[in-house]
Structure 1
């Protein structure tokens, strides 16, 4: 059977065989590579060390895997965004799941939730068999900022390296700031951009909120306080790609304001109450624990996969970290799970941001993203794609009416 690539030249499709129980065909979307980009950081090289440049095409992880059905209507837009940003995505074919794959019939999970759960476990097994040391798992409805590769991922990886290096030493510190970050690359940073994988298990890079408490509490003034942030290991750093508080999700803005976090400041902190699994990084150790124990359909009775991950972080011993606000957020619109379950229910986080999304025309907590279609191009239009790669993906120009960012 011949597989037709969605894009003729910018995307090269290759077949990759990963052994699980049988040989599975994996579509690997290789994206057009840029020549080396200049550093976005105003730094000069130190002796024996080079300044950090843009992240690589897998954002510093071994691979980026995407949970996506073959007939998903969201895949085309995802691939276009990946092309403009110049990141490589691996999209394994999903098996045809049967009722016996769903586990106990007494489980209180919807069919849509179970299919999503099986999709995540399938990707984790693919990663385990790949021999890679780390992987980023994405759901196929995520959106991200045009500066994901050139600014955001390098900042987060440097922050993680700083925190983990301090924790592995004799330092008793529990909080760090931009002044503590070592932005420079060396052999260790090149091998493990996010720090030694033996020192962390899961990194939430995309979620629908880690609000430091469950949804049973409100978001009125004082729902969290600066002392709550001081009590958790964290690093705060300036990130000019973050929207100001008026343009952040209302609950995210409330969280940061009440914690005393300045505007345009992002946090990396030990996870407290992370919700949703839009994008998360794992190591081989944590992936194996999730598949065999913590998120196994046979060994747990949680209602949904993201709940299993939340409990694993809070009670299962996983060393989880959250990027807050997140780098990835699911695009506005009906989810695939809701479509399968014929549900019209809008989750509370989405309902709270509905008016803001319509006003901004952007995905929550994303400053200049791809959801509105502003950076779409016709299949096979190499000229437009190359222009978008250069001006939007590399230079970070938000080429939307009235929105162009300063160079």
Structure 2
């Protein structure tokens, strides 16, 4: 018996009704799929604080640069090192980061008294080495624990903060500008097909780096290589207002101290580890060099084995590819109270009870300090004030914040001529 066929004339109202209903279902289905894809993409790039950046988004893509504005500032995770006993500092970081809209996870600080001497830094007690303070031993262990965690959790990139760090109200715009400078310093990325897993291939900061040193107290740039200058950067701290910088000059005092400029360069040295980012592979290399398999390269005889000094040495020796900014992007702060309330590494005696002097809060190394502007920000103000004098904008309207584009330059050290590339 043949198949039953229903012959409905093409002009039949029934056929028109069926076709219209099919079209409506089709359009509704396609619209739903499109919305789901768009929503998922937005969540992945902008709102997922613990997710990796989207695969296939290259560093040269504008969407990738915008990932700097997500809740992990374009890194896979952000960690802050904090002694569990210093709940006051944790309060400050949680509050400040919530205002600036990024999210922090915690790595517990370490007291050397809680460590076995067998777990102290390798070679730290050799006779010709500078002595380490107990707080420096604990700090070394806490930073190494951060590296261990990055490796154990297979994180592609992570930003490490110390708990006395301060940053600018415009941090996300600053990092967007910094990323452009870091990308300008790097060669164009090759194909990612053969790139090892957990590389920085999806980082908005580029692919050819190991360490981004964002919070320091002094650094040097590689000589005779291009560096990126952003002119008229309102967040550049004037030279007179910088905290003591223990290393430098970055390029040359005549270049460093040009008013309102910011320099981004491949760095050979930096000190102080208040904020820095590493890739997965860099964390592996640091874990090896500073703990598991130390060498003369990382721990030469007679030299300090304090964490930030060793980290700077690894940049200087070319073991790590480091990129930094002058002035530093991030600074430091100390809450109001006794002098001892500041550093957990260096002990300060407050004196007899009847002679103790309470100090006001202090802010160093940033122009529009988040910690100094908490009152205005929590009150919903759209205007913040500079924490230092002699800046481009003593008062900043948040709605008018704009990025600053830069350009590659080189310095002829013999003729002392600065020219664009």
TM-score range, shorter chain: 0.5 to 0.7
- The answer to whether 1:265 aligns with 2:261 is yes
Counterparts in 2 of 1:347-386, with a 5 A limit? 363-372=363-372, 374-375=373-374, 385=378
| Greater Cα offset, 235-244 or 315-324 | 235-244
- The answer to whether 1:279 aligns with 2:298 is no
- The answer to whether 1:325 aligns with 2:343 is no
- The answer to whether 1:192 aligns with 2:203 is yes
Aligned-residue offset at 1:60: 0.8
RMSD: 3.8
More relative contact order in 1 or in 2 (CA 8 Å, sep 6+)?
1
* CA–CA distance in structure 1, aligned partners of residues 260 and 74 of structure 2: 23
**Partner of residue 202 from structure 1, selected from 189, 200, 211:** 211
Q: Is the 8 A contact 1:66 1:91 kept in 2?
A: yes
- The answer to whether 1:106 aligns with 2:125 is yes
Aligned-residue offset at 1:319: 1.1
The normalised TM-score by structure 2 is 0.60
* CA–CA distance in structure 2, aligned partners of residues 135 and 51 of structure 1: 16
Residue matched to 1:56: 70
Q: Is the 8 A contact 2:239 2:257 kept in 1?
A: no
Aligned-residue offset at 1:82: 0.6
List runs of 5+ in structure 2 lacking aligned partners. 1-45, 49-60, 192-199, 351-358, 388-392, 401-421
SS in 2 for 1:280: strand
- Is the radius of gyration larger for structure 1 or structure 2? 2
CA 260–148 in structure 1, closer or farther in 2 if over 3 Å, else same: closer
Aligned-residue offset at 1:264: 2.1
CA 239–126 in structure 1, closer or farther in 2 if over 3 Å, else same: farther
| Greater Cα offset, 303-312 or 102-111 | 102-111
Aligned-residue offset at 1:236: 1.2
**Partner of residue 312 from structure 1, selected from 311, 314, 320:** 314
**Partner of residue 99 from structure 2, selected from 84, 87, 96:** 84
List runs of 5+ in structure 1 lacking aligned partners. 1-32, 36-47, 170-188, 213-227, 345-356, 378-383
Residue matched to 1:70: 84
Q: Is the 8 A contact 1:102 1:297 kept in 2?
A: no
State how many pairs are aligned: 296
| Ranges of 4+ aligned residues in structure 1 off by more than 6 Å | 250-256
CA 271–168 in structure 1, closer or farther in 2 if over 3 Å, else same: farther
Per-residue deviation, residues 345-382 of structure 1 (Å, max 9, x unmatched): xxxxxxxxxxxx99xx863331011344x4159xxxxx
SS in 1 for 2:160: strand
The normalised TM-score by structure 1 is 0.62
CA 102–376 in structure 1, closer or farther in 2 if over 3 Å, else same: farther
Residue matched to 1:234: 227
